[in-house]
A and B are shown apart, each in its own frame.
Chain A
Amino acid sequence: MSARHYSLWLLARRSLRQHSLSTFVTALSLALASGLVMAVLGISAQSRTAFTIESTPFDAVLGARGSQLQLVLNSVFHLETSPGNLPWSAYQDVQKRPGVRAAVPYAVGDSWRGFRVVGTNAQMFDAELLGPRTPRPSVGRVFDETLREAVIGSYVAARTGVRIGDEIHPEHGVDEGHEHDEDYVVVGVLAPTNTPLDRCVWIPIEGMFRMGGHVLRGSGEEYHPQHDEEIPEEVKEVSAVLLAFSSPQVGLELDREFNKSGKDATLAWPIARVMAELFDKLGWMDRVLTLVALLTMLVGAASIVASLYDAMHQRRREMAILRALGARRGQLSRVVVLEATAIAALGALGGFVVYAAILFVARGILREQTGIVLDPTAVHASLALVPLALLALGALCGAIPAWKAYRVEVAEDLGPTS
């Protein structure tokens, strides 16, 4: 750094220290604003990706007639209540459709320690069938469909401390319900997927049918499964069928069949579109939050102008002395712009801390509520654009007080000298 540049930096740094309180308050407001903007944009982008693309290995969900969104939220994200059941035959029919690569039955409605219990079959864990997003046990194995065995998600294991060989007692209902009599032995813990799958307990669907107190109405009549009796296929029912297609064309055909022509079932396809529509509907919230944060940034920027402009009244003599020592007008202006930019830079640095804090809190809440885990190291454009915009804004804000510094007249502001 040349002597002149060093002197400018020294002047700027010392001035900031002299006005440390206003510097701190201004930088803090900029940090809060920029951190909030980055957090809103970052969390929104990550959530959208997680909810629309990365959450499931399936393409579609077939369920009872009703809302596609409710179907997806219930079957994929394990939120909301089930819109109703489908007869077992619907599952069998769709399974046989050409182009349906996988059809996995889901039966929901029970829980264990607040985590949803899902009755399904071993195809759920078949990576050859479902591809790379398939949940796979990291410890143990997949359950035997003929036994009372359970596989638990990684988050369930972490929160409850349950290990392989432990017994669990599912409860009726998704909230606090009474315990069923049946014991299930944990035989596998899934590897973390950072998706809602981590928050589930998986048991064979046959076990779900036979859980004490469960009534099957697949035939329209109530059927109470008996211990030593095979359950007739016509009475069985499922909450949903998760589908993977060999091509989008299959989705189009089934969409036409179930949603446009049929009246008994609803196909939520593609899952990503259903969730994207939800995000689009909620997009105004992002925009409002971003707008509020941007306004806060503008207020912070205005306070840079105000604090430096006011300080210039007190610094006219100092500026005049510097001019008398040989400092050029342009150098003094650059000092002021440098100060403004430095305040903005402090704000931007603080913004990363605020961003990290918001992300940490949001990460915990989102994981607790949905199982989706935000990646704190994920890079997105706002992490670069917001600080750069803040620096540019800071430099711009410095221009007004810098003009005042430029206009300092030594002869007028140095007196009295004699």
Chain B
Amino acid sequence: MHGMAEAVLDLRGVRKGFAAPDGSRVEVLDIAEFSLARGEQVALRGASGTGKTTLLHVIAGIVRADVGTVKVADADMAGLDEAARDAWRAKHVGYVFQTFNLLQAFSALENVALASMFAGDAKVERAKQLLARVGMGERLDYLPRKLSIGQQQRVAVARALVNAPALVLADEPTGNLDRANADTALALLRDTCRESGAALLVVSHDERVVQQFERVIDLAQLNRAAALGAAR
């Protein structure tokens, strides 16, 4: 555990496995402890197959850990039922996907505002402010397909932050960007998280990304299942 007093993320004894097609059990995650302090920014270095996505899904409550505690903003995601995890995620966790996953039928503003609606409060003004902050203030009504890749990433960043989450998870956030856009997007993500006070956990296999963080954790070492070569 990283020695900080106020943790927004605290994993202890977390294990997650899946049933293989042949019926056997495959362990994907086995993490003894891992935590993240409020406002902290950490990079998780992980090659393909080290359980990156599963870890993020467990933290976000998209899937539930088989054993252990997954505390996110003081709630144990492993102990909540699915609906409660959804509600908690909506309010306290921002998620930036590698492929951005913007809703193609919705404008930039709607993409951001919708995320706030599921948290129970339509923060349209805040969505506008965030989009302006990421340089998209002039393109509020643009559909994603009318935006460049870099612009889509900016919208995704704004969406992750609209509910002022305690924790932002970014899964290969620069994976689809060229070098110039990647640097700009990462800087924007880090800056906006810093400004809003959100902790940031970035998982990436890209050394250029990882090296920009003061605290870097090697997922292959953190995840004992990956170290055993069992992760899928």
Contact = CB atoms under 8 A, between A and B. Distances in A.
Task: Pick from B62, B172, B175 the residue with the most CB of A within 10 Å.
Answer: B62
B105 A17 contact: yes
Nearest to B52: A418
B172 A4 contact: no
B228 to A, nearest CB: 20
A196 to B, nearest CB: 58
A10 interface: yes
Contact of B101 (A3, A17, A18, A414): A414
A410 interface: yes
A368 B195 CA distance: 78
Contact of B172 (A18, A325, A414, A417): A417
Interface stretch (B1-9, B71-79, B89-97): B89-97
A326 B99 contact: no
A410 B101 CA distance: 12
Contacts of A14: 105-106
Contacts of B97: 324, 414, 417
B10 interface: no
A358 interface: no
Contacts of B230: none
A14 B86 CA distance: 23
Interface string B115-150: 111111110000000000000000000000000000
Contacts of B121: 3
Interface string A170-196: 000000000000000000000000000
Given A4-B117, A410-B62, A325 B82 contact: no
B103 A318 contact: yes
A366 to B, nearest CB: 48
B14 to A, nearest CB: 16
Given A7-B117, A10-B114, A325-B115, A410 B82 contact: no
B20 interface: no
A256 interface: no
A136 to B, nearest CB: 64
Contact of A7 (B82, B86, B118, B203): B118
23 contacts: A2-B120, A3-B120, A3-B122, A7-B118, A7-B122, A10-B114, A10-B117, A318-B103, A322-B103, A323-B62, A324-B62, A324-B95, A325-B115, A326-B86, A326-B89, A327-B86, A327-B90, A329-B86, A410-B57, A411-B57, A414-B97, A418-B48, A418-B172
Given A3-B120, A414-B97, A418-B172, A15 B105 contact: yes
Nearest to A415: B53
Given A10-B110, A326-B89, A418 B101 contact: no
A321 to B, nearest CB: 5
A6 B57 contact: no
B83 to A, nearest CB: 5
Q: Which 4 A-B pairs have the closest CB atoms?
A: A326-B90, A7-B117, A326-B118, A3-B122
Interface residues of A, number: 31
Interface in A1-56: 2-4, 6-7, 10-11, 14-15, 17-18
B222 to A, nearest CB: 16
Nearest to B92: A326
A97 B144 CA distance: 89
B98 interface: yes
Contact of A324 (B60, B105, B106): B60
Nearest to B91: A326
Max count, chain B CB within 10 A of own CB: residue among A14, A325, A416: A325
Nearest to B114: A7
Q: Which size class do B's interface residues fall under?
A: 35 or more
Contact of A325 (B57, B90, B105): B90
Contacts of A313: none
A328 interface: yes
B87 interface: yes
Given A329-B82, A418-B172, 13 more contacts: A4-B117, A6-B117, A7-B122, A322-B103, A323-B86, A324-B97, A324-B101, A325-B159, A326-B91, A330-B83, A410-B62, A418-B171, A418-B203
A6 B119 contact: no
B63 interface: yes
Interface in B159-197: 159, 171-172, 175
B116 A3 contact: yes
Contacts, number: 94
A67 to B, nearest CB: 66
A329 B118 CA distance: 12
A378 B104 CA distance: 47
A418 B63 CA distance: 16
B99 A417 contact: yes
B152 to A, nearest CB: 13
B83 A328 contact: yes
Interface string A60-92: 000000000000000000000000000000000
A417 B169 CA distance: 12
Contacts of B115: 325-326
Contacts of B62: 323-324, 410-411, 414
Contacts of A323: 62, 86
Contacts of A15: 105
B51 to A, nearest CB: 10
Contacts of A411: 57, 62-63
A417 B56 CA distance: 10
Contact of B171 (A18, A322, A330, A417): A417
B110 A327 contact: no
Contacts of A418: 48, 52-53, 98, 171-172, 175, 203, 205
Contacts of A410: 57, 62
Contacts of B175: 418
A330 B116 CA distance: 18
Interface in A300-322: 317-318, 321-322
